[in-house]
Structure 1
């Protein structure tokens, strides 16, 4: 509350006290039978024995003053309170054990700066991303299951498939609340101009548009040397753009630039934060490191830091950059006014280990086993999240859209989006957000997190599994990695209790696994309700079908289906009018 608020309230209380004392003196002089009749709000009457004028006046003043204070506090909270800055830091393909806050140095190195976020805030044990880069990043910034947005798998150069105009981002909401918005580093939500972050709520963007190995392809031995081929099919360079339409290609992200490109992105993010601080404007900054996606290229100063290989060396470098961002908040004295989230997009990538992560969870990135979906996640939220907190309830990247919107002042964003939400610049959105607002849970107002269900869609858009509370039912599963994986559908849904068996080993290694499965078939009934719940209003809101890197689904059956739909439409036009 500002000094002017305090002065105003003090004056009001004095004035209120004087008025009440005068009124009480008049009442005391009025004829009385020894008691006063007071009228309750329900219309009934009760009696109060006279009390001394001063005490009675003081009591009423205290009550009225308290009411005024509550009113002023509520007013300030709803409209005039300082909005928190928001800094979201993403790694890439980083597994849970790669953060020493989870494994206490077991991997042979530590990440003290990332750990600091957990120490000064909270760490999550049951945090979920998606099975691939694009899906994970889309779920965070769009707040919708990638099955709705169609952003289920990695985007390739020139692909028209990407973020669409009808999809609101967190940045779109932040703009309505007076925030400056900036995105720095990896985007991976489409590479055409219409897909750029600055066409979707961000004031400025500086970053790359693909996974690192796609950026490196033009340097490959077998890559065509024809400049026209590269122009047509090759990746764009590192893009700098602004919301006014300016787009600058700063050059390719080649293997020469890769060792230090995160330093470029970090410098841009720090500059953005510094400018908004000087302008006294709240900011939403999304920093996306390229670490630790393959293939890793490090500068000489980072190589050999840990003695545990290039991946560990890269993690230490990445942790240092997180430390620079946290130090900047300290130096600007805005750490207490800034929400900091650290996480990543998908589960650990093991396929190219040791240039890859590791995880105790089953399988890896590209699958719907826990190893493909579980991610590190932590948040520092001064005044809301108690330092040193550990959250065991499930949370998804999708949940940060409504949670951060609530922090910025829009607590009912899900309801508003369903009815129709007006963005800045004449934008109109009407979508179904799948995320939940965790802010009441973080504040201690709710004992349990709002999410009880997690949907596991694979990169082809198949619903492979569903988690409901502690239970996971897998209708299908993947064998292999993100490139070689095949989908297998079992006769029965495979049932796992993720508290008893978080690493999903029981069904294959447990001595009574089939008995356990048979005894818990009752789960199929409520699980069907959860599937129906997701699809209940699916046709009422826009959606985009997913794309695929494998055209194996193209066959005569698909053509016959298209022909059948065409014939049905023709029959519909032939129906006699009534």
Structure 2
């Protein structure tokens, strides 16, 4: 294994808000201690300003392609069986790493395609097991008037590269309780097999917790004393700890970069609503509580321990960073929005290489972050509770005003200039490289994707 090709383990939680973990100010204060993840955070770099997209599908698309979802057409979750996720034309992170000699595996929630040609084993993973879509589908069968012939029964699936993916059983409320334990079991098995080989490996483990309905494993039922959300938090902490312990047991600690993050901000629906700590809002909005989520990196000897940073990083940056780290080149026939952040992560640079980014929800440019500033073109602090598009955009300094309460667009009008340039450059790139239509099988100009 080349020194420049470490093993990579990326664990992604589902709907985990910035303020839930102990190391982010939650933990026991939220009724759910998270000692294993807290200890993991002390062993590496904890990011305070790690940014994602508005919800599950767009963030996972951004991670896998390094491109904002407005470009890829992976804008939102759609009903089962309809074309969804990322087009087969997109080049994914596991494809790049596999071509660079990595063994690749995914165990967990995919949500980027649920038909042949779009499953994980078609998109660069040697093997996978998990759910092709999302966890709220486990509520189908308990719904009033549920008709199996119309809605179908959600399935857990698995597949290997070069073979057809297959269904392994219903994804119902019982399976929901057990699935994260099974994802960890399979991940540990992969670590044992891949860790004994001569090639580096990439393990992607997008777990189910804390996505609603929060139904904990029987071993964690009632453990917190504060209900299902807190029970699932404690289970999540335990599951992450199991993987970290297995990496250490196998002697892979120094040769493995481990990343833990969330796909989006906290749930907004009661009784599952979470918290983003000091930030306002939930996912499905353009508030900081939607954009900012936990992110921790550990790579002994390369990433300093006990370090925190408020430097800006975006989920697309992992595509560029991990590809470069794995010895893979980036696509040169399309815009890649991610930035290689390895110099920042490893301390060669004290500053992030990113100054800002545009934030879309579906096809609408909702906001732009630039340095300490945030400009909102739409105002929706709560899901379905906003003013719509603003005639005069709001501007906030999110360091001074983290809850985005005091519009200072008039007194700080100079900020319009760099933000307007960022938007103009991004829109110009979309004119030169047209966006992929949602559901299309190919790039613009093919298969009716004009």
Identify whether the pair has TM-score above 0.5, normalized to the shorter chain.
yes
Using the TM superposition, give the Cα deviation of residue 402 of structure 1 relative to its aligned residue in structure 2, in angstroms: 0.8
Report if aligned partners of 1:111, 1:316 keep a CA contact under 8 Å in 2. yes
Report the equivalent of 1:165. 88
Report if aligned partners of 1:479, 1:486 keep a CA contact under 8 Å in 2. yes
Report if aligned partners of 2:45, 2:345 keep a CA contact under 8 Å in 1. no
Superposition map of 1:479-518 within 5 A: 480-481=382-383, 484-485=384-385, 488-507=388-407, 516-518=408-410
TM-score (norm 1): 0.73
Report the equivalent of 1:563. none
Note if 1:379 corresponds to 2:271: no
Cα distance in 1 for partners of 2:368, 2:398 equals 12
Using the TM superposition, give the Cα deviation of residue 335 of structure 1 relative to its aligned residue in structure 2, in angstroms: 0.8
Cα distance in 1 for partners of 2:422, 2:170 equals 46
Report the equivalent of 1:450. 353
Superposition map of 1:294-309 within 5 A: 294-309=212-227
Cα distance in 1 for partners of 2:129, 2:434 equals 29
Report the equivalent of 1:357. 274
Report the equivalent of 1:147. 70
Using the TM superposition, give the Cα deviation of residue 487 of structure 1 relative to its aligned residue in structure 2, in angstroms: 5.5
Report if aligned partners of 1:155, 1:210 keep a CA contact under 8 Å in 2. no
Cα distance in 2 for partners of 1:542, 1:505 equals 36
Cα distance in 1 for partners of 2:13, 2:2 equals 34
**Change in 2 beyond 3 A, CA 1:265/1:80:** closer
Which of 423, 426, 430 lines up with 1:538 in the alignment?
Answer: 430
Cα distance in 2 for partners of 1:80, 1:476 equals 48
Which of 73, 87, 93 lines up with 2:9 in the alignment?
Answer: 87
Which of 100, 123, 141 lines up with 2:46 in the alignment?
Answer: 123
Structure with the largest fraction of helix: 1
Using the TM superposition, give the Cα deviation of residue 440 of structure 1 relative to its aligned residue in structure 2, in angstroms: 1.2
TM-score (norm 2): 0.93
Which of 348, 371, 377 lines up with 1:469 in the alignment?
Answer: 371
Superposition map of 1:93-492 within 5 A: 93-103=15-25, 105-225=28-148, 227=149, 229-230=150-151, 234=152, 236-353=154-271, 355-359=272-276, 360-410=278-328, 413-414=329-330, 417-418=331-332, 430-458=333-361, 460-478=362-380, 480-481=382-383, 484-485=384-385, 488-492=388-392
Report if aligned partners of 1:209, 1:236 keep a CA contact under 8 Å in 2. no
Using the TM superposition, give the Cα deviation of residue 155 of structure 1 relative to its aligned residue in structure 2, in angstroms: 3.1
Name the SS of the counterpart of 1:183 in structure 2. strand
Cα distance in 1 for partners of 2:377, 2:261 equals 28
Name the SS of the counterpart of 1:123 in structure 2. strand
Report if aligned partners of 2:4, 2:327 keep a CA contact under 8 Å in 1. no
Gaps of 5+ in 2: 440-450
Using the TM superposition, give the Cα deviation of residue 442 of structure 1 relative to its aligned residue in structure 2, in angstroms: 2.1
Q: Which has the larger radius of gyration?
A: 1
Using the TM superposition, give the Cα deviation of residue 329 of structure 1 relative to its aligned residue in structure 2, in angstroms: 0.6
Cα distance in 2 for partners of 1:160, 1:246 equals 18
Cα distance in 1 for partners of 2:392, 2:69 equals 26
